[in-house]
Chains A and B, each alone.
Chain A
Amino acid sequence: MASASPSLDARSEALKDSFPLLIPAVPFGFVLGVTISESVVPDGIGVLTSWTIFAGAAQLAFLTLAGTASLGAAIAAALVINARHVMYSAAIAPVFEPQPRWFRWLAPSVLIDQVFALAMQRADADPTWFRRYYLWVGAQFFLVWQTVTLLGLFFGSVIPEEIQIGFAPAVMFAGLVILGITNRPGVVAAFVGAVVCLATLSLPNRVGLLIGAACGVVAGSIAEALQQRRVLAEAER
């Protein structure tokens, strides 16, 4: 992995590894741009979400909810969706121990799902090499994201009404739910989240979304605890 010209290597490895993960980001960013053009949030501020929040699902939730729910509900939903980043931060922290201070401050701003996944695979690399690799991966995702957001915004304003492009975020989220489920407790969490949200839909300010999410998290946690207990009990037998 580390060769005679580590800097070149880190860059080309970063480009090569990111490519398959960048492809799905393109339609996602495009849907986001279209959503910005449809949202009650002014276009410029919608585009700003790609710079400040830089997390597709949270941005999409914020923009779609800002129209129908209260601003508070939109903010709460975006923050809850982004809470998973605490887990990434915890998992990747040891890798940053040999890194300089400026990099520890800069790196988290691009710590999205894909960057986390790629960086963790290089956790044992030489620190200088790792830094270059991480920055190239992060910069690429950031650049592509900004570009496709703008493209979506531009094309979104010329898409005719009859097409009902407003359904695209729901498709995107439904896909993300299933991609994010890695075990049985994950199925339980999603199911409980959806059912509780449906039951509490008439409550004001979309508070049902947060109640559903909270119940889903508790249900998923309980399901995982039960699963582990069963595994332990079987091991003892």
Chain B
Amino acid sequence: MSTSTALIAVIGVGLATYAMRAGLILALADTELPTWLLRALRYVAPSVLAALVVTLVADPDAANRGVSLAEVVGLLVTAGVVIKTRNLAVTLAVGMAAFWAVLALG
């Protein structure tokens, strides 16, 4: 990827993000969003992030195709720890540790 293309993309996404954050603040208060839209926005994060995990782990183009045992164990441990602790820092540490443990054993 060329540097200038990447630069334009990063600035463009930044401007769009600012627009989404600023839009209704600058338009001021009275604009109420329709119920269906507010409802849909609530589910954007869980669905797109779940799809991202799948894309990253089961990437069909990656060098190491397919899902490894270490990855499955790592994600299961991650899910367990975050449900129990609700703490992202601890979750990252334990999830990676589980992944490395299986890598080392296998």
Contacts and interface: CB of A to CB of B under 8 A. Distances in A.
Given A77-B52, A190-B49, A220-B42, A42 B17 contact: no
A74 interface: yes
Given A84-B44, A104-B25, A175-B95, A191 B13 contact: no
Contacts of B6: 41-42, 45, 66, 71
Contacts, number: 286
Interface string B78-90: 1100110011110
Interface of B: 1, 3, 5-7, 9-18, 20-29, 31-33, 36, 38-62, 70-71, 74-75, 78-79, 82-83, 86-89, 91-93, 95-96, 99-100, 103
A217 B44 contact: yes
Q: Which 10 A-B pairs have the closest CB atoms?
A: A216-B47, A52-B14, A220-B43, A193-B47, A108-B22, A212-B51, A197-B51, A213-B48, A108-B21, A189-B43
Q: Is the interface of A mostly helix, strand, loop or mixed?
A: helix
A55 B17 CA distance: 9
Q: Is the interface of B mostly helix, strand, loop or mixed?
A: helix
B44 A81 contact: yes
A81 B95 contact: no
